[in-house]
């Protein structure tokens, strides 16, 4: 296999991420702000992602966290492995009712077969709304299920 033509470079992956966010992230309004090996940052509007009482839905926070942790894991796994989520947890510290929340994912563990990221989600005042940890298994690309 000729890596120069079939495997995108890390820079190409990072450049393509905003275009490959996926349908769920599009529906939730998640927008990437920064993508590096050291941290992944994105915002998400509270509006449209609330539970019946008008508070940011905890599941929305988990979607944001999983998106960021999975992206960081994918960057680490490149070019011969792909991440699959095996564990995620979230502690919800306070509510958010308007504006944007920002998620920042930083690596806790970057191994050959697994990764873990901490994701801190804050409101526009910089107050911590949620802390999440995601662990991904890094599997060989030939074991990644294909769609279609």
Where are the chain's structural domains?
3-143
Query: Which residue's entry shows tokens 């769920």?
Result: 24
Residue 28 to residues 48, 78, 83, 101, 112, Cα–Cα distance (Å): 7, 26, 22, 12, 32
Q: What is the pLDDT of residues 10-23, one digit of tens each?
A: 666 666 555 567 89
Band the pLDDT of 3: cuts 50, 70, 90. Answer: very low
DSSP letters spanning 111-148: -SSEEEEEEEEE-TTS-EEEEEEEEEEEEEGGGSPPP-
Task: Say how far apart CA 128 and CA 94 lie, in whole Å.
Answer: 7
130 near 92, Cβ under 8 Å?
Answer: yes
18 near 34, Cβ under 8 Å?
Answer: no
Q: What is the pLDDT of residues 33-81, one digit of tens each?
A: 999 889 999 999 999 999 999 999 999 999 999 999 999 999 999 888 9
Catalytic residue among 12, 66, 118, 124: 66
Whether residue 118 lies in the annotated active site = no
pLDDT at 1: 38
Edge-to-edge strand ranges of the sheet holding 128-140? 31-35, 40-45, 100-110, 114-122, 128-140, 81-92
Average pLDDT, the chain: 90
Task: Output the pTM of the full model.
Answer: 0.88
Domain at 3-143, CATH from 3.40.50.740, 3.90.79.10, 3.30.70.260, 3.10.129.10: 3.10.129.10
Nearest-CA neighbor of 38 among 19, 10, 80, 62? Answer: 10
Q: What torsion do the CA atoms of 45, 55, 119, 20 make, to the nearest 10 degrees?
A: -40
What three-state secondary structure class fits 11? helix
Structure tokens at 91: 């502690």
Q: Give every CB contact of residue 12 below 8 A, 6+ residues apart in sequence.
A: none
């Amino acid at each position: 296999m000729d890596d120069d033509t079939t495997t995108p470079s890390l820079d190409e992956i990072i450049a393509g991420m905003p275009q490959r966010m996926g349908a769920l992230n599009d529906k939730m309004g998640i927008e990437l702000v920064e993508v590096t090996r050291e941290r992944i940052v994105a915002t998400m509007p509270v509006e449209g992602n609330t539970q019946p009482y008008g508070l940011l839905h905890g599941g929305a926070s988990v979607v944001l966290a999983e998106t960021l942790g999975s992206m960081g894991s994918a960057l680490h796994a490149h070019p011969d492995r792909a991440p699959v989520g095996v564990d995620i947890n979230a502690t919800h510290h306070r509510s958010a009712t308007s504006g944007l929340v920002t998620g920042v994912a930083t690596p806790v563990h970057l191994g050959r077969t697994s990764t873990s990221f901490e994701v801190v989600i804050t409101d526009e005042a910089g107050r911590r709304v949620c802390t999440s940890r995601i662990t991904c298994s890094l599997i060989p690309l030939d074991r990644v299920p294909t769609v279609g």
